[in-house]
Amino acid sequence: ESSLCPPSKLLYRCLAITDLLVGLVTQPLYATYWMSLVYEQRSLCLYTYYTACITGFTLYSVSLLTITAISVDRLLALLLGLRYRQIVTLKRTSIITTTFWIVSVVAALCYILDHRITLSFGCTVIPSCLVISITLYSKIFRTLRHQQARVQDRFQQQPGQPNALNIARYRKAVYSALWVQLALVVCYAPYDIVVTMIMLRKSYSSHLIVSKDILVVFAHFDSSLNPFLFCWRIGEVKQALGGCCTDEIHFLAITDDLNERKMSTTNFSREGTHTKTFHELLCSPSLMGGLQLESVSFSAVLILLSITTFLGNSLILVALHKESSPHPLSKLLYRCLAITDLLVGLISQPLATSHWMLMVHEHWSLCRYVNGAVYITGLALSGVSLMTTAAISVDRLLALLLGLRYQQIVTLKRTYFIVAAFWVFDLVASLRIIFDHRITLLYGYIIIPLCLVVSLASYRKIFPTLDIIRPDPDPFQQRPNQLNTLKMARYRKAVCSALWVQLALVVCHAPITTVEIVVAHSKTYTSHLIITRRVAVTLVYLNSTLNPFLYCWKISELRRAVKQTIRQALCCPWS
Three-class SS of 252-311: HHHHHHHHHHHHHCCCCCCCCCCCCCHHHHCCCHHHHCCCHHHHHHHHHHHHHHHHHHHH
pTM: 0.52
Residues 299 and 176 in one domain: no
What is the model's pLDDT at position 161? 46
Residues 314 and 454 in one domain: yes
- Looking at the structure of the chain, the number of domains it has is 2
Residues 389 and 486 in one domain: yes
Q: In this structure, is residue 1 part of a structural domain?
A: no
Q: In this structure, is residue 277 part of a structural domain?
A: no
Residues 213 and 309 in one domain: no
Q: In this structure, is residue 249 part of a structural domain?
A: no
Whether residue 353 contacts residue 345, with contact meaning beta carbons closer than 8 Å, is answered with no
Q: In this structure, is residue 286 part of a structural domain?
A: no
Q: In this structure, is residue 272 part of a structural domain?
A: no
Residues 103 and 14 in one domain: yes
Count CB atoms within 10 A of the CB of residue 373: 16
Final residue in a domain of this structure, among 208, 233, 258: 233
Residues 341 and 198 in one domain: no
CATH number, residue 318? 1.20.1070.10
Q: What is the mean pLDDT of each run of 10 residues along the chain (575 residues)?
A: 72 88 86 81 81 88 90 86 85 89 88 80 87 89 77 53 64 83 84 78 73 81 81 67 52 46 40 48 64 77 88 88 75 90 89 83 78 86 92 89 84 89 88 77 83 90 78 49 68 87 90 82 74 87 91 85 82 51
Which residues, other chains included, contact 320 with Cβ-Cβ below 8 Å and sequence gap of 6+? 326, 331, 334, 335, 338, 558, 561
Q: Is the dihedral of CA 567, 570, 573, 575 positive or negative?
A: negative
Q: In this structure, is residue 158 part of a structural domain?
A: no
User: Collapsing DSSP states into helix, strand and coil, what is residue 75?
Assistant: helix
Q: In this structure, is residue 278 part of a structural domain?
A: no
Residues 30 and 116 in one domain: yes
Whether residue 297 contacts residue 318, with contact meaning beta carbons closer than 8 Å, is answered with no
Distance (Å) of CA 253 to CA 222, 363, 364? 35, 12, 11
Residues 332 and 417 in one domain: yes
Residues 332 and 423 in one domain: yes
Residues 314 and 446 in one domain: yes
- Structural domain span for residue 403: 291-470+481-571
The single-letter code of the amino acid at 232 is W
Whether residue 545 contacts residue 302, with contact meaning beta carbons closer than 8 Å, is answered with no
Final residue in a domain of this structure, among 200, 218, 233: 233
Residues 341 and 194 in one domain: no
Give the CA dihedral 58, 59, 62, 67, nearest 10 degrees. -150
Residues 313 and 212 in one domain: no
Q: In this structure, is residue 247 part of a structural domain?
A: no
